[in-house]
Structure 1
């Protein structure tokens, strides 16, 4: 069979798979873009995947579908072999030889102080009860058992539903998990609105590395937890220097550091200075850093040097999930519930699942809680079933956004206040500080464009300002958007926040 027939057959197989009721066509496109046909003969097909991880995923999720589609399209029973492309081997983790430093006195992570280099020092060999052949393997096994206990087991790459909205972020997360410390993906900065799966991806990286390379020291922490631990360590420093050193060592010793929601560090210069020192120390040593935030680095109110360093690796956004992805999330959640429940299978008709996906916001946590509501309504009803009409009533006020949400000026003002860190009194008041005036003009512009209400009506909600002032504010933002791509992106982000909040 020539190359034209090979690709024609493979294309037919892919299209056939997408007609099967138990697959998500969007996910098929996403996964099969990393799969390539190499050879076909009667009853045998050879495919290649670009990494071992995607080979495993395709075999686990789609191998039976590929075999069935080959049967359906050719009428022949096939064997299918998937190999990793040897011409582009999967990248291997970078092993960095740590330099040996001389001990220093009283160094720490206080603002302005250098990070301690006393952590990697030559020490006398310590006696061990594990001696002889096999001791190293036993030690690694013990480490693996210890770390496995800390896995966030449900937050894995396997349970992450992919689509156009998140496939790039997913692929980069997999690349980092498979080969930590590569310069082009270090740091990895993932950003997007709350509830879109950023934490899931960070935890999936953590879980994958801890399962496949248990000797690596992986630290996951969110920004609020980091701030609380740092504050506690600083408070205890004078009376217990060892306590602070332990805090310091936890991060400096990490082979991989994952920090969630770094936007909460803005305005906290001392904490940012420490994070920056840690960041530089780890990245310069070839250790992997992964960060997440609800906005791009350039939109976070931090010093330019932080933005520059955060952008030096790979920066990727996670967009709101499309309908197909939300349906996939719903089906996965139902399957997970059935697998862990002793009550037997659930009967949630497709029209109900589609309705939930259509009315839901982009927030995956809200989506799952809606499905949970429906599940419990079914379990505790006499009939063990639920109708679409009952679901509509049940979820009438569940979602904070989606097609059931009606925007108003107050909602727009609230999101603008959150984004620009101004109070409601400042936004509608008489203060003329540059940042307050700018936030006010943006809020007025968004009210006019998103609600399409008269200038006078907007003015009443902004401190009884007259219509000429409102018109002037709208024109100023329009002019800035025409000349500034950054202004356009900022308006797009805030608009998305308003629609999805």
Structure 2
């Protein structure tokens, strides 16, 4: 079968699978991107993917549905489906190998992340790289100045399973947060892809360090634990260390307090992290202003990178927006830097469904269902914070099970969750509302606001409106851009421009604050 016909058949199969009951289209499409049809004959289909994780996941969750779709398309002929890992695909292209979809296909072409180099064989000596990774010239401080550690509420993670006898004792909390229960959408697909690549080949790709950033509750920590859990399962000989920046800071202060009694306290502090094969540091932005702790982190960072050991960092903002020395910016950004944007409605709906399915599995309630209109209401009403979304689902399930109110309506849920979602009235705002207020403020017609005009009297209010949409609404850049007849890059540029102007121009800052007040009162 020629490649064009093969890809056409594969697209038909995927369209059918997406329509089957219980299949979340966004989740399936994420794995479709990583599958490439190689050969097809009567009763047989060969697919390849670029890593073992995708192969195992598809075989576990989708293989029977793919066979069902093939049989449906070929008059009931039973099919055998084989999936193999193509090493050349993993080495040549880090993110995705997939057939080019036809024009009629609803599956968009995959977004390719940074190219991934072949993994360094375990036995191969690693050459030193003095030019690339110079250790800091900052001396080890004699004792740290008092730095207030940031307090965090305890995380509610399930108890980890028993570690294999031959494996090193893992450090940091284990959890049930895995790649398998991470809901994929347009807002997080690139971050997910990079995380999988790092988990497959820790320290052996250009994604070192991997820096994941985004607002709180979007899934950064989920991806970090997914990486850690996957490495523990597939490469138990590697030592993984997860630490929140507040715990790292507390460790450093503890080492300083013990320094007078035990001169090796600093050495022991560094050794814990420098002996890691994979080091994960969460919420790195909280180390800004903590110069001495950052100096130590910088030394650990250089030591691990020089040994080709993997570092994964997370923050609520991009490295360039963290108030730290420029040398940290350049180090943190030298590998893969990727953001997670607020989820689209489709992704939030997928997350709602996944929480409900998890509850059904845990409680053994196969026939329990939350009405579709209630699921959609939760997805549409919630902010981007996934923890808040899960809390809303939990409240609804509790009302239906504990109070046995199985006939809940959307109006009942609206009352139940009246004070649950953050953001107050802003959650009821639309892009159109913000456009209307900005147009009135600057005396601009709506037709001008969405026109192609670049006149400053039009372009400036348009940028202000885009900035305010980003501030008030948990929506991706692309979704905002559609309402202005622009693409996501234009919205990103506009937001950055207004942020810069607000720092430099007091008048712009006052205009924005006035508009914010007007919009809050809608």
Is the TM-score greater than 0.5? Answer: yes
Say whether the 8 Å CA contact 1:191–1:317 is kept in structure 2: yes
**Which residue number corresponds to residue 46 of structure 1?**
46
**Which residue number corresponds to residue 85 of structure 2?**
84
**Which residue number corresponds to residue 57 of structure 1?**
57
1:255 to 263, 269, 277: 277
Q: Does 1:314 align with 2:328?
A: no
More helix by share: 1
Say whether the 8 Å CA contact 2:214–2:340 is kept in structure 1: yes
Alignment gaps of 5+ in structure 1? 101-108, 116-139, 408-447, 457-470
Q: CA deviation at 1:177?
A: 0.7
Say whether the 8 Å CA contact 2:282–2:313 is kept in structure 1: yes
How well do the aligned residues superpose, as a CA RMSD in angstroms? Answer: 3.6
Q: CA deviation at 1:166?
A: 0.6
Structure 1 segment 157-172 matched on structure 2, within 5 A: 157-172=179-194
Matches of 1:12 and 1:176 in 2, distance apart? 32
Deviation readout 1:156-207 (Å, 9 max, x if unpaired): 1111111111111011111111111135111100111110000001111111
Q: TM-score, length-normalised on structure 2?
A: 0.70
Q: CA deviation at 1:269?
A: 1.4
Q: CA deviation at 1:385?
A: 4.0
2:139 to 104, 113, 133: 113
**Which residue number corresponds to residue 67 of structure 1?**
67
Say whether the 8 Å CA contact 2:382–2:427 is kept in structure 1: no
Matches of 1:9 and 1:455 in 2, distance apart? 54
Matches of 1:248 and 1:345 in 2, distance apart? 52
2:398 to 376, 381, 384: 376
Say whether the 8 Å CA contact 2:210–2:311 is kept in structure 1: yes
Structure 1 segment 8-157 matched on structure 2, within 5 A: 8-75=8-75, 76-89=77-90, 91-92=118-119, 95=122, 112-113=138-139, 141-144=164-167, 146-147=169-170, 152-157=174-179
**Which residue number corresponds to residue 127 of structure 1?**
none
Q: CA deviation at 1:5?
A: 2.1
Q: Secondary structure at the match of 1:144?
A: coil
Cα separation, partners in 2 of 1:382 and 1:29, compared to 1, 3 Å: closer
Alignment gaps of 5+ in structure 2? 92-117, 129-134, 142-162, 443-456, 468-490, 503-511
**Which residue number corresponds to residue 390 of structure 1?**
412
Cα separation, partners in 2 of 1:281 and 1:487, compared to 1, 3 Å: farther
Cα separation, partners in 2 of 1:79 and 1:252, compared to 1, 3 Å: same
Matches of 1:485 and 1:33 in 2, distance apart? 26
Deviation readout 1:225-281 (Å, 9 max, x if unpaired): 111111111111111234433222111111111101111111221111111111111
Matches of 2:436 and 2:272 in 1, distance apart? 47
Q: CA deviation at 1:335?
A: 1.4
Q: Does 1:213 align with 2:220?
A: no
Structure 1 segment 186-197 matched on structure 2, within 5 A: 186-197=208-219
Matches of 1:42 and 1:245 in 2, distance apart? 65
**Which residue number corresponds to residue 198 of structure 1?**
220
Matches of 1:231 and 1:451 in 2, distance apart? 50
Matches of 2:425 and 2:48 in 1, distance apart? 42
2:292 to 245, 262, 270: 270
Deviation readout 1:279-331 (Å, 9 max, x if unpaired): 11111111111101111111111111111111111101111111121111111
Matches of 1:321 and 1:403 in 2, distance apart? 19
Greater C-alpha Rg: 1
Matches of 1:41 and 1:485 in 2, distance apart? 47
**Which residue number corresponds to residue 441 of structure 1?**
none
Q: Secondary structure at the match of 2:83?
A: strand
Q: CA deviation at 1:216?
A: 1.0
Cα separation, partners in 2 of 1:160 and 1:382, compared to 1, 3 Å: closer
Matches of 2:395 and 2:275 in 1, distance apart? 44
Q: TM-score, length-normalised on structure 1?
A: 0.73
Q: CA deviation at 1:14?
A: 1.1
Structure 1 segment 267-346 matched on structure 2, within 5 A: 267-341=289-363, 345-346=367-368
